[in-house]
């Protein structure tokens, strides 16, 4: 039974359950987790939303008030809350968990929220619509395939930005995902689809829930790309 008083070790044990899940099972897992998601995230030091939004803030030079943002894998709305503090006002969210979207609805920040199993169903976003497309926490082998990156690109306006984070789990599958993602990003640059604005290592992404060491944290990488105007 979940409650708001779980220890970090109890949360780690709970999070071990999703290993090997397919997209539908992962969505169901998040439906269950939604009840204590934000409290648990704080307890296990989930810093990815803060790190990515700070990274975007440092590298996004434009006025934010009229910017249209697509928040992919939006969860409970943590990213939108942080972006609002920096002047962003217009958000559409996408997530695979109905219960997480219900939490996002309660923030009052989203103009629309859409349910979709990323990588299994098409990204429900109009082509060439958004000034900023952001995805935090989902680019990992347990969540969505690397193929989603081209869908993020398609949803972005010419001249718009795609901001992404990837966590690097200490596992063979994590290494394979990292290599595949890096190949795809480079290929899209070579195809002239976009240019890399910035990338930065992301330290202290969150506690490594697979480790018995209490103070071991995952690391990752943040990316910002700008879509070509042509």
CATH number for 55 = 3.40.50.150
2 domain-assigned: no
Residue 175 above 90 pLDDT?
Answer: no
CA atoms of 208 and 28, how far apart (whole Å): 22
Tokens of 109: 């920040």
- What size, in residues, is the chain? 230
Q: Please choose, from the candidates 169, 171, 127, the residue with its C-alpha nearest in 3D space to the C-alpha of residue 152.
A: 127
Asked if residues 221 and 200 have their Cβ atoms less than 8 Å apart, the reply is: yes
Number of domains in the chain: 1
* 22-63 confidence digits (pLDDT tens): 778 888 888 998 999 999 999 888 999 999 999 999 999 888
215 domain-assigned: yes
Overall pTM surpassing 0.75 (yes/no): yes
Residue 225 above 60 pLDDT?
Answer: yes
174 domain-assigned: yes
* 124-168 confidence digits (pLDDT tens): 999 999 999 999 989 987 788 999 999 999 999 999 999 999 988
Range of the domain at 206: 8-227
3 domain-assigned: no
Pairing of strands 194-207, 68-72: unpaired
48 domain-assigned: yes
170 domain-assigned: yes
61 domain-assigned: yes
């Amino acid at each position: 039974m979940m409650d708001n008083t779980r220890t970090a070790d109890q949360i780690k044990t709970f999070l071990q359950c999703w290993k090997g899940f397919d997209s539908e099972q992962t969505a169901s897992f998040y439906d269950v987790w939604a009840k204590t998601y934000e409290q648990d995230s704080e307890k296990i030091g989930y810093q990815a939303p803060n790190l990515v939004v700070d990274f975007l803030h440092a590298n996004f030079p434009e006025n934010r008030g009229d910017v249209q943002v697509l928040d992919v894998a939006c969860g409970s709305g943590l990213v939108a809350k942080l972006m609002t503090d920096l002047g962003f006002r217009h958000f559409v969210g996408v997530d695979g968990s109905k219960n997480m979207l219900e939490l996002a609805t309660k923030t009052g920040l989203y103009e629309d929220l859409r349910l979709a199993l990323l990588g299994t169903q098409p990204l429900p976003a109009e082509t060439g619509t958004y000034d900023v497309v952001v995805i935090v926490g989902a680019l990992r082998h347990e969540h969505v395939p690397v193929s989603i990156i081209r869908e993020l690109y398609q949803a972005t306006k010419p001249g718009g930005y795609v901001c992404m984070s990837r966590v690097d789990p200490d596992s063979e599958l994590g290494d394979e995902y990292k290599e595949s993602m890096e190949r795809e990003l480079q290929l899209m640059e070579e195809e002239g689809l976009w240019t890399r604005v910035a990338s930065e290592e992301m330290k202290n992404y969150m506690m490594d829930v697979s480790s018995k060491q209490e103070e071991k944290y995952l690391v990752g990488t943040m990316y910002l790309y700008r879509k070509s105007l042509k």
